[in-house]
Structure 1
Amino acid sequence: MTEHASVRYVVDDVPAAIAFYTTHLGFTVRMSAAPAFADVVRGPLRLLLSGPASSGARATPEDASAAGRNRIHLVVPDLDAEIKRLTDAGVAFRGEVVAGPGGRQILLADPAGNLVKLFQPAR
Structure 2
Amino acid sequence: MADSVATVWMPVDDMGRAVKFYGEVLGLTVKNEGDDWSELDAGGVTIGLNAREDTHRGGTGGAVLTLNPSGDLFDEVVRLTDAGVEFAGEVSQHPWGKLATFKDTEGNDLQLFEAPPA
The TM-score, its normalising length taken from structure 2, stands at 0.82
User: Aligned AA for 1:46?
Assistant: T
From 53, 67, 78, the counterpart of 1:74: 67
User: What is the DSSP-based 3-state SS (H/G/I as helix, E as strand, rest coil) of the residue aligned with 1:33?
Assistant: coil
**1:6 maps to what in 2?**
7
Identical pairs, percent: 33
Counterparts of residues 38-49 of structure 1 (less than 5 Å): 38-49=38-49
Counterparts of residues 52-91 of structure 1 (less than 5 Å): 52=52, 57=53, 68=61, 70-76=63-69, 77-91=71-85
Query: Residues 59-109 of structure 1, C-alpha deviation per residue, up to 9 Å, x if partnerless?
Result: 78xxxxx97252111112311100110111111112221111111111111
Query: Residues 11-63 of structure 1, C-alpha deviation per residue, up to 9 Å, x if partnerless?
Result: 010010000001121211111113x22111111221111113xxxx4878xxx
User: Aligned AA for 1:100?
Assistant: H
**1:27 maps to what in 2?**
28
4+ residue runs over 2 A deviation: 57-60, 66-69
User: What is the DSSP-based 3-state SS (H/G/I as helix, E as strand, rest coil) of the residue aligned with 2:106?
Assistant: coil
**Structure 1: tracts of 5 or more residues without a match:** 61-65
- Say whether 1:120 aligns with 2:75: no
The TM-score, its normalising length taken from structure 1, stands at 0.79
Q: Give the conservation status (yes or no) of the 8 Å contact 1:4–1:44.
A: no
Question: Aligned Cα RMSD in Å?
Answer: 2.2
Higher strand share: 1
User: What is the DSSP-based 3-state SS (H/G/I as helix, E as strand, rest coil) of the residue aligned with 1:87?
Assistant: helix
User: What is the DSSP-based 3-state SS (H/G/I as helix, E as strand, rest coil) of the residue aligned with 1:16?
Assistant: helix
